[in-house]
Amino acid sequence: MTTGELAPGRLDPAASAHIAVRGAAKSYRTARGGAQEALASVDLEIPRGQFVSLLGPSGCGKTTLLKLIGGLIPRSSGHLLVDGEPVEAALRQRKFGFVFQDATLLPWKNVVDNASLLLDITGQRNSRDRVRSLIRIVGLEGFEHFYPAQLSGGMKQRVSLARALALEPEILLMDEPFAALDAITRDRMGEELLKILDGSRTVVFVTHSIPEAVLLSDRVVVMSARPGRVVADVRIDLPRPRNGEVRRSPLFGELEYRLRSSIEDAPGGRDG
């Protein structure tokens, strides 16, 4: 095991887990009545305030694991805990914020109304001042009354992020939120995300991009091809705060190479 690499899915014994995944597995029924195993006995612990990226080939179960952590789909076996309690309790307590690849904005609502949607649904209409502050933080000041059709892809994702943060979640779950953006906008959004979060929340982030994972993360968890298993758990020991300049450092390139090798050496990695 190389320097900076943890035993797959595990932390230092002294670390306290904000999120604990214990033997989690997920199978889906096929059209012919059989079962397709998506995840196989995943163990993972994430301490409070850590940014963890899930990286691996297409179809390896990254999004499935993210949805299990967030209580969006039922597990087939195993345990998912948040602060030592079942994930279902954390879901009821609104500890999660979700940002997906599709911003899913309502076309008839403007930026403020879309960002306020979850607050309105949960009866917190008196929190509009918080939403306006978040709109400034995500860089959309002056666009409050614009509608989705008037926004670029990156701007839509900023609205989606503001909407997720409006409920002040402890945990932010992000499923390839920048994948549909062009490369320059994607890089810019990653750097802006680091400024916005500033270590204030626990983040689980799904990505196919190795450079994106290195730039954003405290740890990168590499998964094998289906059924997904954790095959590497790599610390990203780059100094913070980070910006685009860090991409030019030798350590950044070394970490990219290590992660790429972990993916390719995993079962089915070169075919993924």
CATH architecture of 11-95+171-186+198-271: 3-Layer(aba) Sandwich (3.40)
pLDDT at 3: 42
Residue in the structure block whose two tokens are 């989606």 = 160
Per-residue CA distances from 41 to 44, 115, 179, 212 (Å): 10, 37, 28, 27
Question: 206 and 174 in contact (C-beta within 8 Å)?
Answer: yes
CA–CA distance, 231 with 240 (Å, rounded to integer) = 26
Angle between helices 183-197 and 153-166 (to 10 degrees): 20
pLDDT at 128: 76
CA–CA distance, 77 with 54 (Å, rounded to integer) = 20
pLDDT at 2: 44
For 229-262, how does the pLDDT look when each residue is reduced to its tens digit (9 = 90+)?
A: 999 999 999 998 888 889 999 999 999 999 999 9
For 50-68, how does the pLDDT look when each residue is reduced to its tens digit (9 = 90+)?
A: 999 999 988 889 999 999 9
CA–CA distance, 213 with 218 (Å, rounded to integer) = 9
> Of how many residues is the chain composed?
272
Q: Under the phi-then-psi rule, with left for phi > 0, alpha for psi from -120 to 50, and beta for the rest, what region is 84? A: left
Rounded to the nearest integer, the mean pLDDT of the chain is: 88
Residue stretches of the chain with pLDDT short of 50: 1-3, 10-15, 271-272
Strand runs labelled E in the chain: 5-6, 17-29, 35-47, 51-55, 77-82, 85-86, 96-99, 171-175, 202-207, 219-223, 230-235
pLDDT at 195: 86
β-sheet with 77-82: strand ranges across: 35-47, 17-29, 77-82, 85-86
94 three-state secondary structure: coil
Q: Where are the domains of the chain?
A: 11-95+171-186+198-271, 102-168
Residue 108 half-sphere exposure toward CB, CA atoms < 13 A: 0
Phi, psi of 207 (to 5 degrees): -150, 155
Per-residue CA distances from 158 to 72, 178, 186, 256, 258 (Å): 23, 10, 12, 27, 31
pLDDT at 219: 97
Q: Largest Cα–Cα distance of the chain, in whole Å? A: 53
Angle between helices 128-137 and 153-166 (to 10 degrees): 140
